C-alpha cells in the first residue's frame, strides 16, 4: 500500500498532499523534489521513476508538467503505484476538464474528496470516474480552457483543424453546463504514435505504430455503443465491439503494429566538409501523404559537431512560419515549420563554421536527424471506424458523434 | 455552488479565526459549509486552525454529505493533537455508523479508523463489528480495510474482538470488491505478525481464483500478490493455477500483467512438462513486449523485471530483441536498461543488427549512454566468440572518431577482450597506441598500460611508451601505479636490457620508498625479492598464463536471482536487491507476543573498514570515532565481543570513555593465544569478531620484555574460508611494559585450504626484534554469518522442503539451558542468526532461524528446548551439511555462556 500521495508543481510547490498511513515523514515532498532536481550533479540526467531514499520508496510520473508522487516503506508493486498515479491524473482530469496547477488549486476540496474515495489506508479502491460519481459530491469549478495549456492526446485536436470541436474535450465529464443541459456527444479518437528509424541510405530499419482507440463519452444514461472497424484490416481480434462506455475518458483498445507502413515523411540529410573549418548541411523533407492533409508543428533537429561555432542558414522563400536556429549550448540545429501540405518538399541549407580542424569522419559527429510532428486526419495504419452506433436512443434524439484521427511522431529518426 | 474554492484562501482584515468562528456558528447551512471550506483551505496551507475544533465538530451533525466529509477531513487532521476534544465527535460517529444511508455508515467507520486516538479506538469496535456484517457491500469493503487500520493501532484488540475471523469470512463474500479488500487487509496483518493468520489453503485458493475474474483491476493485483505466496502441491495443481491466471496477461493494467507474470513464473518451477513450459513462455512474450509501449515510467519497471526474467528464461524474448532497440527520445533511464537487455539477448544470429545499433548509440550526445554502448560492444565480443572479430572492428572504427571518452572506454573493453582471447587480436595494438596521449582517466590508462606490459615483446617501443608514463608516477592514482609497476616488471622480464633495468629501479624505488600505499609497497617488495633471489621464478609468477575471463552480463548470483524472481512485480525486482535490504517499515506500536527484530538497517555500513582499522592508533580522536561507530550499533544487539574501549580502559585511559556509553556488558577479555613466557615476554591475545558486516581480527599486544618491539607483521595460513589479512598490521612501536590493540580487517577466499571444513586458524606474527611466533586460533563460524541472512518465511519453508532429508543434521546439547526465548533470540540475532517463526510442541518451544555464510550458503536452523530445563536440540538443514560440525561448535559457544 502507499503511504502518501502528492502533486508538486514544476517549481516544487506542494499543490496536493494526502497522507494515508503516517509512517513516512511529513517533509517527504521536499526531500523528494530536491533529490529529483539534483539527481546527477550536472542536473542533466533524469531521475528514474522509482527510487529509495533513507528507507522511503518514491514513485513519480510527470503529467502536463506536474509531478504526481507516491511514497511507501514496503516492497510494493511499482507498476501498481505508477499506473495508479496515471489513473489519478486521468480521474482528476475527467472531473476538472483540465488538469493544471490552477484547476487543482481551485478545486482542492473536490480533489481531496476524490482522493479519499480512490485510496483508503493506502489501498486503491477504484479509479473509475463512473463508479466515483456515486460517492463524490463536490461540483467542479471549471477553469477557463482557452488560457490553459492543453493536455494529453486529445489536445492534439485543438491545433489547426477547424472541423473539430477541439475545446469540447476539455470540459468536465460531471459538471453541468450553463443552462442545466448537457450536450449529448461522444468522441472516438484514433491516435497513432509512430516510430521510424531510417538508415543512412534511406531504408527503413525499424518502424512501429503504437495505436490507441480512445473514447470520451458525454452521453447520459450510459447507452450501449457499437463500434465497427474496417474489416480489411489485419489486426487480430478487431472486428466490431459492443460496449457501454463509462463516463470519462477511457481506452477502448491499444494496438501495436510492426509491419511496414509508408512513413509520412522522407528525410534526406547530408553533411559535407567545405574547405577547412567549414561544412555544409542540407536537410530535405518530403511529405509522402495526400495533398488534402496538412501536418503541423513540425520540428526537425540535428546535433552538430562539438566544435561548431557559427551557423548561417539559407531558407526557402515564401513559406510562412518557418524558423531555423542553432542552439549553441546543445550544439544542435533546430528547424521549425508551422505546417507542411501533403506532397510538398522543403529544404534547409546551413553553413557551419568550426573552431578547429577535423580529424575523423564528420558524419560520425553529427546527426542523427530527428523529427516531431502532428498530422490530424491521417493514420498510417489505415485503421478506420466504419460506423459508430448508439444503440439505445438517449433523451436527445441524435447525439453528436465525433470520430477523429491523428498521427504523432514518437521517435522519428534518420541516421546519417 | 458558485465561485472558486481559491477564494477561501483570501483573508479579511478583521482577524481570520474569530470571523471563521462566527461563520461556523451561522444559522445558515450554506454559510457554515463555506466556513468549513475556508477552515480546510487554511489547514492545507499549514495554518493552525485547531482552535476551531469545537465549532467545526458542531457542524458534523448534518445530512449534507459534502459538509460531513469536510468535517471528517478536519477531524482526521486534528484529532491527534486534540484527543480530548475528539471524544466530542464519538457520539456522532457512532450514530452515523447506524445511519440509513450506507455512504454515511461507511464514511463514519472509515474516518474513525483514521483517527489514531486510543479513546476513539475503543468506541470503534462496536460500529466495526456491525459494519463488517452490513448489507451494503460498500460498507463491508470499507470495514474490511478498517480492520487493518485497527490492527495497526491495537493488534490485541483486533484479535480479542474476533475481527480476524470476521475478515476471513469476508473472503467468501459475494462481492468481489469486499473479497479484494479482505485479502489486502489479511495480507498486511500477516506481514506484521509472526503467527500464521492468513494461510492460503486449497479451498481459499479456489475462492480467490474465482473472485479474480470479477474483481476490479486493483483487486486483481491484491489477490494475485496474495496468491503468489501459495505453494502448489504438485505439477497438476500448478498447471491449474496457471490456466486460471493466464487470461490476466491480456489486461490493460500493467500492474495486473506483471503480477500475473510473477504468479506464472513461480508456478512454472513446479511444472514438469516441457511442452507446457514452452507454451507458457510463448504466451508471456507478447504481454511483456506490450509493456514497452506504455509510458516511460512503466517501461522502466518492465525493463528491470525483464532483465531478471531473461536471465532465468532467455527463450521467452529471444526473438524480440528489436523491441529493445533504443528510441531517440527514450529517457536515459530507459535507454540504459534497454542496452543491458540487448547484451543479454545478443546471439550469433542477431549480432550484426545489434552491433549496428550500438555503433549508432556510440555517436549520440549523452556521455553515460555512449560509454555504456561502447562497453556493450566489448561485452558482446567476450560473450560471442564467433562475433568477436566484428565487435573489435566496430570498436576500432569508433576509436578513429577520436572522441576522447569513446576512445578511453574502447581501450578498457579491449583489454578485457585480450584477456578473453589471448594471442588473437594483437595486430590492433598499433592503432591503440596512437591514442596514448589522450588518455586521462585512471581506468583507461591502467588498461592501456596493462596491454603494453602484457605484449611488451611485440611492441617495438614498449620501453619508450612505458617510460613516458613513468615520469608522472608519483602523481598517478593507485590503480595506474599498480599497473605501471607490474607492466615494467613484465617488460624487464621479457627484455632484460639496460633501459628496462633502469626503469625497474626507478619504479621499485618509487613504489617502496616514496609511497605510503601499502598495496603498492607490498607488491613492489614481492617483485623486488623475486627478482633478486630467483628471476626464473619471477618469470613463472609474473608471466604466468592467466585464467580465461568470461562474460559478466549475467552477473547476478543464482541464489539472489531466484530470490529476485520470486519478487517479480515488487520494488525488489526494480532495485535488484532482496526486500530485506531496503524495507525498513517503521513499526509504530509495540505488540504483544511480537519479537522486535534488531533493526538490520544499513546505517552502520557507512563506516568504511579502513576507517575502523585505524582504531589501533589509540589517539583520542580515533577513539571517539570508534565510540560513535559503536553507538550506531543497534542497541538490541549487545556485543559480547571484547570492547576495544574497555581494553584501553585497562591502560588507564578510561577518562576518554564517556559515561553515556551504550549499555553493552563489558565483554570478556580476549583469549590469550601467545602467553608471555612462550613469546619471550610478548603476549598476544586475539579473537575474530564481526562488526558492521566486516570481519576483524581484534588483537592485543602486550610487551613484557625488556626491549622495545616494532615492525610487527602478520600472516595467516591456508584455512577453510581463505581468511587473510585485508591490510597491513598496524601496531606502533611497543615500549617495554606497554600494550597496543588493533582491529585488523580480514578478507575471505584468499588462500583456501582443501579438505573437510575445519575451524583451525594458524597465525604467524613477527617483529623486527624477535623470532617469528606461530600460534593456533579458532575460527568461530558465527563471524561469517552475514547481515543479509534473514529469510522470508515462505522462502524458508520452500528451502526446507526442497532440501533432501540427508542434508539435515542434528545434535543434542544436554548442558545448555534456555531460560528466556526472547533473550536467546536477541543473543542469536546479535550474531546474525535471524528468527523466522516459533511454535509450541507440548511443553517445548520450537524456534526456527536462518543464517547465511559467504557464497550465499543458507543455514536453516531448528532449536527445540523446554524453557528452564537443561537440554537443547539443534537441527540444521543446509545445502552444505559439511559445515554442520563447525556450526554446532559455534552454537554451543554462543549459548553455553
Is residue A400 scored above 50 in pLDDT? yes
The CATH code that applies to domain B785-896 is 3.30.310.10
Q: In angstroms, rounded to a whole number, what is the distance separating the alpha carbons of residues A200 and A209?
A: 21
Percent of the residues in chain A that have a pLDDT greater than 90, as a whole number: 42
Let me know: does B435 contact B411? Beta carbons within 8 Å. Answer: yes
Higher-pLDDT residue of A242 and A169 is A242
Name the nearest CA neighbour of B172 among B136, B128, B205, B134: B205
Distance CA B769, CA B731 (A): 14
Q: How far apart are the first and last CA of chain B?
A: 75
SS3 content of chain B, % helix, strand, coil (to 5): 55, 10, 30
Q: How confident is the model at residue B655, as a pLDDT?
A: 33
| CA-based radius of gyration for chain B | 34
**Residue A3: closest C-alpha in chain B:** B585
Q: Find, among B422, B493, B438, the residue nearest to B462 by Cα.
A: B493
Measured torsion, CA atoms of residues B460, B462, B465, B471, in degrees rounded to the nearest 10: -140
B575 and A52 within 8 Å at the Cβ level: the answer is yes
Does A392 or B466 have the greater pLDDT score? B466
Residue B652 per-residue DSSP state = I
| B62-116 tens-digit pLDDT | 888 888 998 998 888 888 788 887 888 888 899 999 999 999 999 999 999 988 8
Q: Which residues of A162-198 are buried (b: 16+ CB within 10 A; e: fewer)?
A: eebebebbbbbbbeeeeeeebebbbbbbbbbbbbbbb
Tell me the C-alpha distance between B546 and B420, whole Å: 10
Choose from A60, A79, A368 for mutation: most chain B CBs within 10 A: A79
How many angstroms away from the CA of B724 is the closest CA of chain A? Answer: 34
Domain spanning A265-376, CATH class: mainly beta
Domains of chain B, residue spans: 5-247, 423-545, 604-779, 785-896
B225 with A210: Cβ contact below 8 A: no
Residues in B closer than 8 angstroms to A413, CB to CB, are 327-328
Nearest 5°: phi and psi at A312? -110, 130
Backbone angles phi, psi at A15, to 5 degrees: -95, -45
Q: Which three cell numbers stand for residue B532?
A: 633478486
pLDDT at A241: 61
Please state which architecture CATH assigns to domain B5-247: Alpha Horseshoe (1.25)
Pick among B289, B363, B366 to test the A interface (most A CBs inside 10 A): B363
What whole-number distance in Å separates Cα of residue B857 and Cα of residue B363? 44
**Predicted pLDDT at B788:** 85
**ipTM greater than 0.85:** no
Are β-strands A400-414 and A185-198 bridged in parallel, bridged antiparallel, or unpaired? Answer: parallel
Stretches where chain B sits below pLDDT 70 are: 1-14, 552-554, 584-668, 897
Q: Which of A2, A16, A46, A109 to mutate to test the interface with B (most CBs of B within 10 A)?
A: A109
Yes or no, beta carbons of A256 and B290 under 8 Å apart? yes
User: Is residue A232 within 8 angstroms of chain B, CB to CB?
Assistant: no
Collect all residues of chain A within an 8 Å Cβ-Cβ radius of residue B3: 141
For residue A303, the cross-strand partners are A332
Which among B259, B295, B363 has the least Cβ separation from residue A364? Answer: B363
CB of B614 closer than 8 Å to CB of B636: no
User: What totals of helices (H) and strands (E) does chain B contain, helices first?
Assistant: 37, 13
Contact (CB, 8 A) for B318 and B288: no
Peptide bond into A315 cis (omega under 30): no
Answer whether B44 sits within 8 Å of A46, measured CB to CB. Answer: no
Residue A146: is it exposed, middle or buried by C-beta count within 10 angstroms (0-12/13-18/19+)?
exposed
State the nearest Cα–Cα gap between A84 and chain B, in angstroms: 9
Domains A4-132 and A265-376 belong to one CATH topology: no
Paired with B752 in beta bridges are B719
Tell me what pLDDT residue B379 has.
Answer: 93
At B885, list the grid cell: 560440525
pLDDT of residue B646: 32
**Residue B164's Cα: distance from chain center in Å?**
33
CA end-to-end span of chain A, whole Å? 49
Strand partners, A240: A228
Q: Which fold has domain A4-132?
A: Beta-Lactamase (3.30.450)
In tens, the pLDDT along A352-390 reads 998 887 766 777 788 899 999 999 889 898 888 877 777
Which residues pair with residue A284 across a beta bridge?
A: A268, A347
- pLDDT for B842 equals 79
Q: Record the pTM.
A: 0.69
CB contact under 8 A, A82 and B40: no
Which helix (H) or strand (E) segment holds residue B250: the answer is none
Q: Is A387 on the interface with B (CB under 8 A)?
A: no
Residue range A310-332, pLDDT digits in tens: 999 998 887 778 999 999 888 89
Share of chain A above pLDDT 70, in %: 85
**CA nearest to B37, candidates A174, A14, A106, A173:** A106
d(CA A74, CA B582): 9
* Lowest model confidence (mean pLDDT) among A44-58, A175-189, B202-216, B311-325: A175-189
- For chain A, what is the mean pLDDT? 83
pLDDT higher than threshold 80 for residue A174: no
Give the SS3 label for residue B731.
coil
Q: How many CA atoms lie within 13 A of B838 on its CB side?
A: 15
Q: Are B89 and B129 in contact (CB under 8 A)?
A: no
What does the domain layout of chain A look like in residue ranges? 4-132, 153-175+183-261+378-414, 265-376
Cα–Cα dist B798/B775, whole Å: 43
Which member of A60, A61, A206 has the closest CB to residue B322?
A206
Query: Given the C-alpha cell 536453516, which residue does it identify?
Result: B860
| C-alpha to C-alpha distance for B701 and B616, rounded to whole angstroms | 11
Query: What is the CA angle A404-A408-A411, rounded to 5?
Result: 160
Pairing of strands A345-354, A308-315: antiparallel
> Given an 8 Å threshold on Cβ–Cβ distance, is A22 in contact with B293?
no
A241 touches chain B (CB under 8 A): no
| Partners of residue A117 in chain B, C-beta under 8 Å | none
Which of A212, A178, A226, A206 is CA-nearest to residue A392? A226
- Output the nine-digit C-alpha cell for B41: 483551505
Q: Number of A to B CB contacts under 8 A, please give it.
A: 193
Other Cβ atoms within 10 Å of B5 Cβ, number: 21
We find that the CATH architecture of domain B604-779 is Sandwich (2.60)
Residue-level pLDDT at A319: 77
Q: Which CATH architecture has domain A153-175+183-261+378-414?
A: Sandwich (2.60)
Give A 149-168 residues with CB within 8 A of chain B. none
Contact A399, A314 (CB under 8 A): no
Band (pLDDT 50/70/90 cuts) for residue A238 is very low
Amino acid at each position: 500500500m502507499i503511504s502518501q500521495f502528492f502533486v508538486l508543481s514544476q517549481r516544487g510547490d506542494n499543490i496536493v498532499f494526502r497522507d494515508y498511513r503516517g509512517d513516512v515523514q511529513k517533509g517527504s515532498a521536499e526531500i523528494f523534489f530536491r533529490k529529483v532536481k539534483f539527481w546527477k550533479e550536472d542536473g542533466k540526467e533524469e531521475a528514474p521513476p522509482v527510487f529509495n531514499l533513507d528507507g522511503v520508496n518514491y514513485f513519480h510520473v510527470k503529467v502536463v508538467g506536474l509531478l504526481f508522487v507516491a511514497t511507501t516503506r514496503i516492497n510494493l508493486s511499482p507498476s501498481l503505484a505508477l499506473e495508479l498515479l496515471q489513473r489519478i491524473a486521468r480521474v482528476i482530469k475527467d472531473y476538472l476538464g483540465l488538469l493544471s496547477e490552477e484547476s487543482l488549486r481551485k478545486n482542492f476540496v473536490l480533489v481531496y474528496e476524490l482522493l479519499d474515495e480512490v485510496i483508503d489506508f493506502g489501498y486503491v479502491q477504484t479509479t473509475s470516474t463512473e463508479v466515483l460519481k456515486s460517492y463524490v459530491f463536490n461540483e467542479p469549478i471549471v477553469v477557463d480552457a482557452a488560457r490553459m495549456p492543453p493536455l494529453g492526446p486529445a489536445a492534439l485536436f485543438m491545433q489547426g483543424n477547424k472541423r473539430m470541436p477541439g475545446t469540447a474535450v476539455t470540459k468536465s465529464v460531471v459538471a453541468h453546463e450553463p443552462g442545466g443541459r448537457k450536450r449529448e456527444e461522444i468522441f472516438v479518437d484514433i491516435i497513432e504514435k509512430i516510430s521510424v528509424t531510417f538508415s543512412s541510405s534511406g531504408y527503413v530499419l525499424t518502424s512501429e505504430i503504437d495505436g490507441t482507440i480512445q473514447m470520451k463519452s458525454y452521453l447520459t444514461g450510459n447507452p450501449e455503443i457499437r463500434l465497427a472497424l474496417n474489416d480489411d484490416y489485419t489486426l487480430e481480434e478487431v472486428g466490431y465491439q459492443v460496449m457501454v462506455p463509462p463516463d470519462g475518458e477511457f481506452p477502448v483498445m491499444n494496438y501495436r503494429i510492426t509491419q511496414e507502413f509508408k512513413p509520412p515523411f522522407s528525410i534526406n540529410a547530408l553533411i559535407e566538409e567545405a574547405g577547412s573549418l567549414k561544412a555544409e548541411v542540407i536537410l530535405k523533407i518530403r511529405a509522402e501523404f495526400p495533398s488534402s492533409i496538412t501536418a503541423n508543428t513540425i520540428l526537425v533537429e540535428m546535433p552538430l559537431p562539438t566544435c561548431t561555432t557559427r551557423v548561417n542558414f539559407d531558407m526557402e522563400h515564401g513559406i510562412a512560419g518557418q524558423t531555423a536556429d542553432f542552439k549553441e549550448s546543445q550544439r544542435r540545429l533546430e528547424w521549425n515549420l508551422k505546417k507542411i501540405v501533403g506532397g510538398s518538399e522543403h529544404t534547409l541549407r546551413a553553413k557551419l563554421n568550426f573552431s578547429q580542424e577535423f580529424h575523423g569522419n564528420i558524419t560520425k559527429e553529427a546527426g542523427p536527424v530527428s523529427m516531431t510532428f502532428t498530422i490530424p486526419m491521417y493514420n498510417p495504419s489505415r485503421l478506420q471506424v466504419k460506423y459508430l452506433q448508439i444503440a439505445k436512443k438517449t433523451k436527445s434524439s441524435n447525439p453528436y458523434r465525433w470520430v477523429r484521427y491523428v498521427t504523432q511522431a514518437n521517435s522519428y529518426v534518420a541516421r546519417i | 455552488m458558485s465561485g472558486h474554492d481559491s477564494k477561501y484562501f483570501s483573508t479579511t482584515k478583521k482577524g481570520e479565526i474569530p470571523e471563521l468562528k462566527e461563520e461556523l456558528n451561522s444559522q445558515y447551512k450554506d454559510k457554515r459549509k463555506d466556513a468549513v471550506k475556508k477552515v480546510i483551505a487554511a489547514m492545507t496551507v499549514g495554518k493552525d486552525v485547531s482552535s476551531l475544533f469545537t465549532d467545526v465538530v458542531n457542524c458534523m451533525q448534518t445530512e449534507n454529505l459534502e459538509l460531513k466529509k469536510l468535517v471528517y477531513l478536519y477531524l482526521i487532521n486534528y484529532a491527534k493533537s486534540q484527543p480530548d476534544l475528539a471524544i466530542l465527535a464519538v457520539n456522532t460517529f457512532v450514530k452515523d455508523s447506524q445511519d440509513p444511508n450506507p455512504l454515511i455508515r461507511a464514511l463514519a467507520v472509515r474516518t474513525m479508523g483514521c483517527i489514531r486516538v486510543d479513546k476513539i479506538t475503543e468506541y470503534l469496535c462496536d460500529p466495526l463489528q456491525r459494519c463488517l456484517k452490513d448489507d451494503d457491500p460498500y460498507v463491508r469493503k470499507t470495514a474490511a480495510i478498517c480492520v487493518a487500520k485497527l490492527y495497526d493501532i491495537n493488534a490485541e484488540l483486533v484479535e480479542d474482538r474476533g475481527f480476524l475471523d470476521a475478515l476471513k469470512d469476508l473472503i467468501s463474500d459475494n462481492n468481489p470488491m469486499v473479497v479484494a479488500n479482505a485479502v489486502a487487509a489479511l495480507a498486511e496483518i500477516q506481514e506484521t505478525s509472526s503467527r500464521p493468520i492468513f494461510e492460503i489453503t486449497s479451498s481459499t485458493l479456489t475462492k480467490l481464483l474465482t473472485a479474480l475474474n470479477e474483481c476490479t483491476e486493483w483487486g486483481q493485483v491484491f489477490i494475485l500478490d496474495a496468491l503468489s505466496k501459495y505453494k502448489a502441491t504438485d505439477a497438476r495443481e500448478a498447471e491449474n493455477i496457471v490456466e486460471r491466471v493466464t487470461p490476466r496477461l491480456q489486461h490493460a493494467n500493467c500492474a495486473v500483467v506483471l503480477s500475473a507474470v510473477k504468479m506464472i513464473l513461480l508456478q512454472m518451477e513446479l511444472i514438469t512438462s516441457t511442452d507446457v513450459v514452452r507454451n507458457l513462455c510463448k504466451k508471456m512474450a507478447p504481454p511483456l513486449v506490450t509493456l514497452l509501449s506504455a509510458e516511460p515510467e512503466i517501461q522502466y519497471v518492465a525493463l528491470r523485471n525483464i532483465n531478471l526474467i531473461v536471465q532465468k528464461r532467455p527463450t521467452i524474448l529471444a526473438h524480440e530483441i528489436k523491441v529493445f532497440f533504443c528510441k531517440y527520445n527514450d529517457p536515459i533511464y530507459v535507454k540504459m536498461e534497454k542496452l543491458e537487455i540487448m547484451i543479454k539477448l545478443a546471439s550469433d544470429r542477431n549480432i550484426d543488427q545489434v552491433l549496428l545499433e550500438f555503433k549508432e548509440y556510440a555517436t549520440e550526445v549523452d556521455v553515460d549512454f555512449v560509454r555504456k554502448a561502447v562497453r556493450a560492444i566489448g561485452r558482446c565480443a567476450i560473450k560471442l566468440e564467433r562475433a568477436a572479430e566484428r565487435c573489435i572492428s566496430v570498436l576500432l572504427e569508433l576509436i578513429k572518431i577520436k572522441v576522447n571518452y569513446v576512445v578511453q572506454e574502447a581501450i578498457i573493453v579491449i583489454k578485457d577482450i585480450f584477456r578473453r582471447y589471448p594471442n588473437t587480436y594483437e595486430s590492433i595494438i598499433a592503432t591503440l597506441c596512437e591514442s596514448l596521449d589522450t588518455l586521462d582517466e585512471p581506468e583507461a590508462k591502467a588498461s592501456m598500460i596493462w596491454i603494453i606490459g602484457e605484449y611488451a615483446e611485440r611492441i617495438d617501443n614498449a620501453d619508450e611508451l612505458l617510460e613516458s608514463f613513468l615520469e608522472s608516477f608519483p602523481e598517478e592514482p593507485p590503480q595506474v601505479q599498480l599497473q605501471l609497476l607490474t607492466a615494467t616488471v613484465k617488460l624487464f622480464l621479457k627484455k632484460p636490457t639496460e633501459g628496462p633495468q633502469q626503469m625497474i629501479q626507478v619504479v621499485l624505488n618509487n613504489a617502496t620508498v616514496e609511497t605510503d600505499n601499502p598495496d603498492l609497497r607490498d607488491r613492489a617488495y614481492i617483485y623486488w625479492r623475486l627478482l633478486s633471489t630467483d628471476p626464473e621464478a619471477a618469470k613463472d609468477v609474473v608471466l604466468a598464463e592467466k585464467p580465461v575471463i568470461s562474460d559478466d552480463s549475467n552477473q547476478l548470483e543464482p541464489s539472489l536471482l531466484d530470490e529476485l524472481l520470486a519478487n517479480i512485480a515488487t520494488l525488489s525486482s526494480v532495485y535488484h536487491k532482496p526486500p530485506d535490504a531496503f524495507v525498513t517499515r517503521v513499526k509504530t506500536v509495540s505488540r504483544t507476543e511480537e519479537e522486535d527484530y534488531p533493526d538490520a538497517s544499513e546505517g552502520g555500513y557507512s563506516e568504511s573498514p579502513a576507517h575502523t582499522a585505524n582504531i589501533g592508533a589509540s589517539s583520542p580522536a580515533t577513539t571517539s570515532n570508534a565510540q560513535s561507530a559503536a553507538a550506531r550499533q543497534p542497541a538490541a544487539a549487545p556485543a559480547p565481543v571484547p570492547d576495544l574501549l574497555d581494553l584501553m580502559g585497562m591502560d588507564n585511559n578510561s577518562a576518554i570513555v564517556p559515561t553515556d556509553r551504550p549499555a553493552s556488558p563489558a565483554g570478556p577479555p580476549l583469549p590469550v593465544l601467545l602467553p608471555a613466557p612462550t613469546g619471550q615476554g610478548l603476549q598476544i591475545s586475539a579473537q575474530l569478531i564481526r562488526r558492521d558486516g566486516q570481519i576483524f581480527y581484534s588483537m592485543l599486544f602486550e610487551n613484557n620484555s625488556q626491549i622495545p618491539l616494532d615492525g610487527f607483521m602478520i600472516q595467516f595460513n591456508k584455512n577453510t574460508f581463505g581468511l587473510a589479512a585485508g591490510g597491513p598490521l598496524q601496531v606502533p612501536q611497543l615500549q617495554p611494559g606497554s600494550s597496543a590493540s588493533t582491529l585488523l580487517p580480514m578478507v575471505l577466499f584468499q588462500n583456501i585450504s582443501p579438505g573437510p571444513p575445519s575451524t583451525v586458524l594458524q597465525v604467524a606474527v613477527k617483529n623486527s626484534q624477535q623470532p617469528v611466533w606461530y600460534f593456533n586460533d579458532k575460527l568461530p563460524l558465527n563471524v561469517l554469518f552475514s547481515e543479509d541472512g534473514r529469510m522470508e518465511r515462505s522462502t524458508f519453508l520452500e528451502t526446507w522442503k526442497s532440501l533432501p532429508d540427508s542434508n539435515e543434521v542434528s545434535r543434542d546439547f544436554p548442558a545448555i539451558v534456555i531460560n528466556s526465548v526472547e533473550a536467546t533470540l536477541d543473543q542469536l540475532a546479535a550474531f546474525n542468526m535471524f528468527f523466522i517463526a516459533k511454535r509450541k510442541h507440548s511443553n517445548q518451544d520450537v524456534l526456527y532461524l536462518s543464517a547465511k555464510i559467504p557464497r550465499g550458503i543458507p543455514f536453516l536452523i531448528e532449536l527445540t528446548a523446554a524453557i528452564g530445563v537443561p537440554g537443547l536440540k539443534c537441527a540444521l538443514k543446509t545445502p552444505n551439511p559439511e559445515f554442520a560440525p563447525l556450526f554446532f561448535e559455534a552454537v554451543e559457544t554462543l549459548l553455553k555462556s
